[in-house]
């Protein structure tokens, strides 16, 4: 049984949709791995996935963040740890 078929069986999501999700994950991973330094300053709306200018704290909650350089997308927790790593590397 293929991975997409097993995931479909477990989730009820069609195999073709799972294939699309996995393809996007692979593409996002490639973008992220080929970026020399991320800048996750674009906040994406939770529902529409469109950029939000001057987001409020409530809009940032649960949002995803997009790198201005590579277009890679991460959740808020990944952004926090990435930013912390940058800060810590400057102040050992």
CA distance 91 to 47: 37
Q: Are residues 61 and 90 in the same domain?
A: yes
Q: How many domains does the chain have?
A: 2
Q: What is the pTM of this model?
A: 0.84
Q: Are residues 65 and 84 in the same domain?
A: yes
pLDDT given for residue 2 in this prediction: 85
Q: Are residues 48 and 28 in the same domain?
A: no
pLDDT given for residue 19 in this prediction: 93
Q: Are residues 25 and 51 in the same domain?
A: no
Give the relative orientation of helices 15-33 and 3-11 as an angle to the nearest 10 degrees: 120
pLDDT given for residue 92 in this prediction: 65
pLDDT along the chain (92 residues), means of 10: 87 93 96 96 94 93 95 96 91 70
Q: Are residues 82 and 54 in the same domain?
A: yes
pLDDT given for residue 71 in this prediction: 97
pLDDT given for residue 23 in this prediction: 96
Owning domain of residue 7: 1-34
Q: Are residues 44 and 30 in the same domain?
A: no
């Amino acid at each position: 049984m293929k991975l997409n078929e097993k995931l479909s069986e477990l989730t009820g999501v069609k195999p073709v949709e799972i294939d699309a999700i996995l393809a996007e994950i692979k593409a996002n991973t490639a973008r992220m791995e080929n970026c020399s330094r991320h800048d996750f300053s674009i906040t994406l709306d939770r529902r529409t996935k469109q950029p939000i200018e001057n987001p409020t704290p409530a809009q940032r909650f649960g949002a995803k963040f997009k790198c201005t350089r590579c277009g890679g997308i991460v959740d808020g927790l990944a952004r926090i740890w990435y930013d912390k790593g940058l800060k810590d590397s400057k102040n050992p």
